[in-house]
Every structure is written in C-alpha cells, then in structure tokens.
Amino acid sequence: MKILNCLFFLFFIITIAKAQNTRFVTEGKIEFERKVNLHAQFTGDDSWTDEFKKRIPQFKTTYFNLIFNNNKSIYQPGREIAENNKLWEQPAEDNVIYTELDKKWAISQKRIFEKTFLIQDSTRKVHWKITDEKKTIAGFECRRANALILDSIYIVAFYTDEILPPGGPESFSGLPGMILGVAIPHEHITWFATKLTIVPVKDTDFKIPVKGNKMNTAGLKESLKTSLKDWGKYGERYLKAAML
C-alpha cells in the first residue's frame, strides 16, 4: 500500500509539473512561409511549357505575418524576397485578411491581376476531420486535420492547442487552436509557420483593409467565373487560387 501511495504521489507531481510547463499563448505574431511549386502548376507537353519552366525556379517562396489576440487576427505580407519580382505573379498571392474570430467575420483584400477586391463575409465553414497524426511546427506540437473546401479541394492542416485563438494563415480557421501549417497537395501550395513572437498586441495593430471593389464571397466567384470563362484549364486554376 505504501508503494502504491508513493507511485500515485509521484504521478501526481509529474502531472502538475507538466501542466506548469505547458505554455498557452493568447496573443503575438506568427511568421508564415508560403511556398508554391510553379513547375507543378504548369503541366503539358508543349514547347511553351518546357521553355517557361527553364526560365523560372521550381518554387516561389513568400512570407506573411499573422498578428492575433483572443478575438482578432490580421494576416498580411511580411518580409520581401527581391528575386520574387522576376517571377510569375499569380492572382491573390498578397492578400490582407482581417478576421474577427469571436464573430466569425472577415474582411479580405485581394489583388487579382489589375483589380483589387474587398470581400466582406462570414468566415469559411470547414468540416474538419481531426486525426491522431502529429507534427512539430515552429516548436509546437500540432495535430493533423483534413477537409474539403470549395467543394473539391483537399487540404491538410496542422493546429496546436497551445496557441488558443482558433485562427490561421489566409482564410483557414475553425480548429480548436491556431493553425500553424496548411498543405493543398493538388494545388502544390503550402503555408508553414517559421516562428512565433510573443508580444503585446494593441487594437492599433489591426489595420483593417478598406480599399477595393466591395462584394461578398459569392459575388467574387461569379465575377471571376465570367472574366476567366475563356481561359481553359488556367482559368480554373486562377479561380481556385483567388478563392483560397
């Protein structure tokens, strides 16, 4: 009995110690690395495709910052890479997205070719399927979740419950903690956190975008479908990229 009591006491002490060492973050700044496999996005046996691939690197990497607190987040372009100015520009690749996490409402500024749109709508409803697979990202243990968005696009996300606000990069949210990694295999795009900076966040840090042609998500989709209807497979790819 004494041995059993000692073991129970030891287990209790270890459990308390682990709980005290667990960090729970409610505000700060996360840097995300967005990587696009440009070669994989351009498929075909024609000479134009082959020549295009020879002129550009395989991957295009950009960086974004996500500033967040318990109720809000803003996702916006971060540090620049000069070489990207020479690379293929895709629609909606430098989005600014302000999200009211508690109200499930977002304002997204998207530059799509020569036009800027300001999308005001509720956050995307995603039916996540949480799995037992785990992955360490930026020093945090994350759990994997899978889902379909836009009817047919398969996505993989990794979230941590050590960062409490249920946000993430771009328009991805809705898991029980912060999303630190997203992969869209068939579109050859990934977002992964590189670091977290724990800093006090003020209301003035959330600079809500105001410029652009105002509409909701459905309106943007219909507008782009009309504009891209004669672009074939590239039109379909650009539409998906713009709606992510």
Query: How do the pLDDT tens digits run along the chain, 244 residues long?
Result: 555 454 444 444 433 334 444 679 999 999 999 999 988 877 666 666 677 777 778 888 999 999 999 999 999 999 988 777 656 678 899 999 999 999 999 999 999 988 999 999 999 999 999 999 999 999 999 999 999 999 899 999 999 999 999 999 999 999 999 999 999 999 999 999 999 999 999 999 999 999 999 999 999 999 999 999 888 887 888 898 899 8
Q: Which residues pair with 141 in a beta bridge?
A: 136
CA 36 to chain centre: 13
**Whole-number Å distance between alpha carbons of 226 and 207:** 32
What the block records as the tokens of 91 is 């629609």
Domains and CATH numbers, the chain: 26-243 (2.50.20)
Give the number of other CB atoms < 10 A from CB of residue 148: 12
Tokens 């209790």 map to which residue?
12
**Whole-number Å distance between alpha carbons of 96 and 78:** 11
Interior/surface letters 165-191, b for 16+ CB within 10 angstroms, e for the rest: bbbbbbbbbbbebbbbbbbbeebebbb
**Whole-number Å distance between alpha carbons of 170 and 77:** 11
Give the number of other CB atoms < 10 A from CB of residue 193: 25
Q: What is the pTM of this model?
A: 0.87
